[in-house]
Each structure stands twice: as C-alpha cells, then as structure tokens.
Amino acid sequence: MTAAGIAACLSASLLLASCEKVIDLDLHTASEKYVIEGNVTNMPGPYQVSIGRTGGVNDAYTFRGVSGARVTLRDDAGNTETLQEGAPGQYQTASPGLQGLEGHTYYLDVSIGDQHYTSSSVMPQRVSLDSLYITKVFNWSKDVLTVVPVFTDPAGKGNCYRFDQVINGALDKTLYANNDDFSDGRLSEWPLLRPDPDSTLHPNDQVQVEMQCIDTAVYKYWFSVDESALGNGSNLPANPVTNIQGGALGYFSAHTSQRRTITVK
C-alpha cells in the first residue's frame, strides 16, 4: 500500500473513533520525519521504495517526495542493486533486476545526506490462496455481501497475512491483516468486511483480492497502523511500530503476492 493509501486509512479510522472528553493536545511540536515504504515480492520486478516527509497534523495530505537519496537493496545470496529515482521520492529496481524469492532475506539501505536508515525482511513461503466466494454477513444493523478468501494455514504458529481488495477497479482502503494465533493449521475463511455498515457488494461487481504472506515484523506494523489510528487501549493515537532502524517511519516488506478475481452473481 502506498503512503497515500496509508494516510487515507488512518484518516478513515480516525473518523470512526469518538470520545466525549475534549483533550487539548500540542500537535505542532513533533519534528519532521522521513517516511520510507519499500516492497519486494515473489513476482517479477521492478520493486519500489518511496521516501517522503511527514507534515503538520492539520495539513492536507500530499506526498512530499524526497529526492537525491541513495537506495540499495540486497539479498542473502549476495545480489545487490542500487535503485534509480523516477518521480520525486520514488525509487525502483531495474527490470530485469533483483528477484524476490521465498525463504530469502532482503535488506534495505537508505542514505539521505548524513542520515542512514536500514531494514530487513524475510519473505515467507507462499500459502496458496485456494479460492474466493461471496457470502452474506450481518454488519452493524443489516446484512451485507462481502468476499471471503479461502486458504489453509500451515501447521506451526507464526504465519501472517495481509489482504487488499479492489472493487470495480477501486482499491478498498480498509486494512486487512491477521495471523494464525487462533487458526494455526486450519482452513481459514476470513470475510473482508468493510467497517461502513452501508458498504456492500452488488450483483455484477468484480472483486480482485491480493493475498500477501508477510513476516511477523511487517504484520506488527500493519496491526499497529490500525490500533494507532483508533487509539485502542490506554494509549492515544501514536506512530505505528516500524521495522526501519535509524528513526524513520514506515515499513519494508518482502512478501509473496497472489491474486484471484470473482464476480458477484
């Protein structure tokens, strides 16, 4: 998901949260930070890394790309590639170039002036997305139609997943991430239910679902995006947990990717 997508998810989640007590926060004193988002998949490249800057909390969101960074990717087999900048703040590998493979570890290195940021991510083994089906689910006060991906979680805890769904060409900005804490080794049928009670699929809608097998650190990032946006628990909304070292926000993910499409009857 892009920086713009994450910002939109956070904004949508914050709108859902309510609080009766008025809390006066000093929201203008946080120092500017870099936001780094990178992905390597088991699909052919090129692979992208975006680098931006945070803005003021009341600023309208725009991607503030950071140009002139030195960005490299390498794997545990000794392959290294320096990414080239296209649009401001958008860096990518050559095509063909470094190839993402299951079971391998990938390393990200970013230098911006005298600032240095690093991260690593292990690409899990791919778990097969067997099928999709449409079902009716009770959501808030009404029945809605939603899509359900079907897959079998391998035995042994530690498998983590993220899903994206595109409905009639438009990305659903809801965050869908889960792990196998309560489904280890079992058939998984997890409805991709949007939080809006008026969100339902309709006949002839075409839905494409992408299933990603992600490592634990990346799962914690996506989980904390959701938790931080809603302010769940005793804490106020805060920055998501990052797997990037050096003080930047964001994430670096080496993950598998597979897609299936279904049409609502």
70 beta partners:
111
Span(s) in the chain for CATH 2.60.40: 131-212
CATH code that applies to domain 131-212: 2.60.40
Better pLDDT: 14 or 121: 121
pLDDT bracket for residue 20 (50, 70, 90): very low
Q: What are phi and psi of 164, to 5 degrees?
A: -120, 140
H or E element in which residue 118 lies: strand 115-122
Percent of residues in the chain assigned helix, strand, coil, to nearest 5: 10, 40, 50
220 beta partners:
none
Amino acid (1-letter code) at residue 75: D
Q: How far, in Å, CA of 19 to CA of 236, rounded?
A: 11
- How much is the pTM? 0.84
H or E element in which residue 222 lies: helix 216-230
**Radius of gyration from C-alpha coordinates of the chain:** 19
Confirm if 151 and 178 have CB atoms less than 8 A apart: no
Q: Taking CA 195 as the corner, what is the angle to CA 192 and CA 201, rounded to the nearest 5 degrees?
A: 55
Q: Collapsing DSSP states into helix, strand and coil, what is residue 199?
A: coil
pLDDT bracket for residue 7 (50, 70, 90): very low
pLDDT score for 12: 40
H or E element in which residue 177 lies: strand 176-179
- Over residues 132-155, the pLDDT tens digits come to 999 999 988 889 999 999 999 999
CA-nearest of 35, 42, 103, 105 to 73 is 105
Q: Collapsing DSSP states into helix, strand and coil, what is residue 8?
A: helix
**N-terminal to C-terminal alpha carbon distance within the chain:** 29
Q: Is the pLDDT of residue 209 over 70?
A: yes
pLDDT score for 56: 62
Q: Mean pLDDT of all residues in the chain?
A: 87
The whole-number average pLDDT for the span 205-210 is 98
Q: Taking CA 42 as the corner, what is the angle to CA 217 and CA 34, rounded to the nearest 5 degrees?
A: 45
CA-nearest of 60, 231, 201, 52 to 132 is 201
Q: How far, in Å, CA of 66 to CA of 205, rounded?
A: 38
Residue 228's Cβ-count burial label (10 Å; 0-12, 13-18, 19+) is buried
The whole-number average pLDDT for the span 164-172 is 97
Calculate what percentage of the chain has a pLDDT beyond 90.
73
Better pLDDT: 5 or 209: 209
Better pLDDT: 181 or 234: 181
- Which residues fall within 8 angstroms of residue 18, CB to CB, at 6 or more apart? none
Confirm if 64 and 55 have CB atoms less than 8 A apart: yes
Establish whether the linkage from the previous residue to 96 is cis, with ω within 30° of 0. yes
- Over residues 23-41, the pLDDT tens digits come to 444 545 568 899 999 999 9
DSSP structure class, residue 85: E
Q: Is the pLDDT of residue 236 over 60?
A: no
Calculate what percentage of the chain has a pLDDT beyond 70.
83
Q: How far, in Å, CA of 110 to CA of 118, rounded?
A: 6
